[in-house]
Structure 1
């Protein structure tokens, strides 16, 4: 806030520069998990959005010339209103600031929904959220891709569902290499997989599975997986949207090379593809959109990347008025809250210090030194802006609260080594309650994630979609995987070749000269392992049919 002196008078005034809206925020995209005091800047190197911003003189009759109509200014600001401070003790506010009590968020009316089925079968539930339209596209494009490569695949729906079942099994029954699932070695073999599909057939399907026609490629970096997100969004949009939803980013883990791979410091998954998501508090994702720069399929509102993501997801999901949105400081701006108010949505989110503009709050570094639980707030028009001191300084803006109210929260006191009760603003409590939907879905997916990998860059998205249609229950995923193999798998007509490891283990036991005794099995005659004749005797340790006269020769030669 520079200070200037006018030449024709002795008046000294502070000029406040309000930056223009963040229209090109994607050029400097950064992690959304920063606190207010971590986002700093250098006042000696101001960006163009600050230098081109609108300037005015607060608390003064002097006015600067109005900017032209085509000059972009701040799309939303907060007027100079008295800021109230609240102690973190049990004191109550006696003279709260006045708000516009006539304004109310429209009442939430649940959308009527016909589920279309009433089955409790886990497979039916899975196939509902991994729709038939997506499976049909996978069948058609996989066979087409094989033909383009000069191969004959002839993939059927039963084989595709069996293929899905094997992928799901790899999520909770992991082996170092996928081929070990078909091994005869007792420590790694999986009879359910071996009895459902041959290993070579699985490899053929995995090398040819596709979602698009490669002859119709476009400039979209996510061209190969667009049908995947389209069909999943179509089926998810059929589910009624809950009253409280959260907007956040998900990460699909990927360590290869791709232009859309992102790095977010401090996230459980730091490297991978970023997916903008709209999810309910229970973890159900209603809308998802991959972040691919200029090819991201979301409307550009002119309010910046964060607001465009929130408003774009709301439009694509056809969110009805009255729904309450929660978003972190990557998305929240004052202009977003104003736009959400105009559209009839509730909006609550944390804010960065750089987005507060002319809000007269105490600096985060100074406010951090106050006792835990202290708060200051400002009520203006339809917005309530609150700054609260917890483990770090938190700033929240909401259009759903008409007055500043507080509740109690428990925090650990290091000095007393006990739990203390501190005052907590009601809007922050609501934010903590409803914000974690996207993170909850990430937790569901990561627990039993498909472990079979591929060198194809889009394979993580394909396998992630299968886990996204699952529930957070090991028993549910096991039931789905085993039922798919039993219903749609085909048992091989003959047994495959034994592995070299199995032969080596058998030979080590055969020649150890310990506790090998012939015994009468009492069963039908079998072929002697040494001479091929019929016998009812066998080695009790090796479990191999042997004549008594062939017993010594088999264990020594």
Structure 2
């Protein structure tokens, strides 16, 4: 049966080729007026493709598939010449500026979001919490809190397995180790606070999982709304790794470098 079917398909294709070469219709008369010039074999409907078998596929469509497979892949070559950037002139609607503060440096842009009053709030709450926890104030200052934030930025650029390695002799990293001693850095981290724990009711703690950071989040949002949107702006998110079980805010996102965290 397989050989007979193959022979049948072979004769069917030969008949189609013979009719094309002779330019004859089914009646044996050549008629060019009936040729559909708008016919495009690659524009058949998906419904027709799903209903028809391989034997019913038009011969022209088979040739189209074969020719597509044999197409050469494009080859790109490097050219040693000076790069000419494309025209990036902004053509959209201009937004009126709502703030008059200039952003001359990265520090100035950072201070738009984290203002001095917010740093002072961390200083006060950290000193208060150190007294509540140890009975003695840590006596930190705004300068030290700013240094801790800057050290964390450097740690994000140069990653190590542990915090202690930034001060170790073999792996010492001066942009971090030369700013503050390791013991003082860890002491501030252990008592770092944003709100007074004694001033928050148990009801608020149960309803708001971020009650320890809520005041900071509100202030950050207010400062963000004050900024005038610009043309070149990039917004991204990242997963902060955390596998502890002390909070119900831990999430799992598949595909992240650190799937467990915040």
Q: Which TM-score band applies after superposition, normalised by the shorter structure?
A: 0.5 to 0.7
| 1:157 has 2:142 as partner | yes
| 1:146 has 2:130 as partner | yes
1:288-316 residue CA offsets vs partner (Å, 9 max, x unmatched): xxxxxxxxxxxxxxxxxxxxxxxxxxxxx
Name the CA distance, whole Å, in 2 between partners of 1:202 and 1:141: 17
In structure 2, the partner of 1:271 is: 260
CA contact under 8 A between 2:103 and 2:109: conserved in structure 1?
Answer: no
| 1:168 has 2:153 as partner | yes
RMSD in angstroms over aligned alpha carbons? Answer: 3.3
1:5-35 residue CA offsets vs partner (Å, 9 max, x unmatched): xxxxxxxxxxxxxxxxxxxxxxxxxxxxxxx
Name the CA distance, whole Å, in 2 between partners of 1:221 and 1:199: 31
1:46-84 residue CA offsets vs partner (Å, 9 max, x unmatched): xxxxxxxxxxxxxxxxxxxxxxxxxxxxxxxxxxxxxxx
Relative contact order (alpha carbons < 8 A, sep ≥ 6): 1 or 2 greater?
A: 1
Name the CA distance, whole Å, in 2 between partners of 1:89 and 1:143: 73
Name the CA distance, whole Å, in 2 between partners of 1:189 and 1:235: 36
| 1:203 has 2:186 as partner | yes
CA contact under 8 A between 2:128 and 2:137: conserved in structure 1?
Answer: no
Name the CA distance, whole Å, in 2 between partners of 1:89 and 1:147: 77
CA contact under 8 A between 2:123 and 2:142: conserved in structure 1?
Answer: yes
1:383-428 residue CA offsets vs partner (Å, 9 max, x unmatched): xxxxxxxxxxxxxxxxxxxxxxxxxxxxxxxxxxxxxxxxxxxxxx
TM-score, scaled to structure 2: 0.54
CA contact under 8 A between 2:241 and 2:260: conserved in structure 1?
Answer: yes
In structure 2, the partner of 1:180 is: 165
In structure 2, the partner of 1:229 is: 217
Of 101, 110, 113, which residue of structure 2 is paired with 1:116? 101
1:197-242 residue CA offsets vs partner (Å, 9 max, x unmatched): 1222112111111111111232211111212321211111112357
Structure 2 unmatched ranges of 5 or more = 1-41, 46-92
1:92-122 residue CA offsets vs partner (Å, 9 max, x unmatched): xxxxxxxxxxxxxxxx773432241242x22
Name the CA distance, whole Å, in 1 between partners of 2:174 and 2:127: 28
Of 186, 189, 195, which residue of structure 2 is paired with 1:212? 195
Where 1:259 maps in the other structure, the secondary structure is coil
In structure 2, the partner of 1:238 is: 226
Of 132, 135, 140, which residue of structure 1 is paired with 2:116? 132
Name the CA distance, whole Å, in 2 between partners of 1:116 and 1:163: 26
Where 1:202 maps in the other structure, the secondary structure is helix
Name the CA distance, whole Å, in 2 between partners of 1:262 and 1:271: 6
CA contact under 8 A between 1:181 and 1:193: conserved in structure 2?
Answer: yes
More strand by share: 1
CA contact under 8 A between 1:131 and 1:231: conserved in structure 2?
Answer: no
1:428-482 residue CA offsets vs partner (Å, 9 max, x unmatched): xxxxxxxxxxxxxxxxxxxxxxxxxxxxxxxxxxxxxxxxxxxxxxxxxxxxxxx
| Count of residues in correspondence between the two structures | 166
Of 254, 261, 272, which residue of structure 1 is paired with 2:242? 254
Structure 1 residues 146, 165: CA separation in 2 closer, same or farther (over 3 Å shift)? same
In structure 1, the partner of 2:48 is: none
Structure 1 residues 193, 254: CA separation in 2 closer, same or farther (over 3 Å shift)? closer
Structure 1 residues 251, 114: CA separation in 2 closer, same or farther (over 3 Å shift)? same
Structure 1 residues 224, 89: CA separation in 2 closer, same or farther (over 3 Å shift)? farther
Where 2:153 maps in the other structure, the secondary structure is helix
1:361-391 residue CA offsets vs partner (Å, 9 max, x unmatched): xxxxxxxxxxxxxxxxxxxxxxxxxxxxxxx
